[in-house]
Amino acid sequence: MSASRLYDEDFYAWANEQAALLRSGRFAEADIAHIAEEIESIGKTEKRTLTNHLAVLLTHLLKWQFQPVIRTTRWRLTIEEQRSLLADHMADNPSLKAKLPETIVSTYGLALLRAARETGLPLPRFPEVCPWIYDQIIDDSFWPEAV
């Protein structure tokens, strides 16, 4: 079966075959086009993981700031957990640091929608742009003041 057909019909078998070809130095036989596609896909997955951690963290920081009367242990633990996961992810993928400013901007919009939905507060109640820089967002000692 051709590598391209195997890629479409049995990805697991294709991946193992390609790894074996690369390890044995048989590059001419490797399915380079699909290998490159898969490597790009891994990079996109790492960026999506960054976005997901940031969205959850920003949502909970907004809830923490805008609903201080009902702050819960669950919110605090979610913030702590996401900070830890985000720090680990950035340590594993330091080149993503260059993407942080644009990712915070794009992710903040999602966090706003989630915070408004989860708190029942109207969107205009929240800041239009993220009020925090990354160093604050990730700082274990940073807890937004109540508004």
State the total domains in the chain.
2
Average pLDDT over residues 53-64: 98
pTM for the full predicted model: 0.86
What confidence tens digit (pLDDT) does each residue in 60-69 have? 999 999 999 9
> Could you list the residue range(s) of the whole structural domain that residue 3 is in?
1-30
Each residue's pLDDT tens digit, 13-35 = 999 999 999 999 999 999 999 99
Based on the domain organization, do 57 and 6 belong to the same domain?
Answer: no
Same domain, 14 and 54: no
Residue 145 lies in a domain: no
Q: Are residues 21 and 53 in the same domain?
A: no
Query: Is the pLDDT assigned to residue 1 strictly greater than 80?
Result: no
The arithmetic mean of pLDDT across residues 80-95, rounded, is 97
Asked whether residue 116 is assigned to any structural domain, the reply reads yes
- Mean pLDDT across 40-68: 97
The answer to whether residue 92 sits within a structural domain is yes
Written as six digits, the tokens of 42 are 């891994």
Query: Distance of CA 123 to CAs 48, 75, 103, 126, Å?
Result: 24, 20, 20, 6
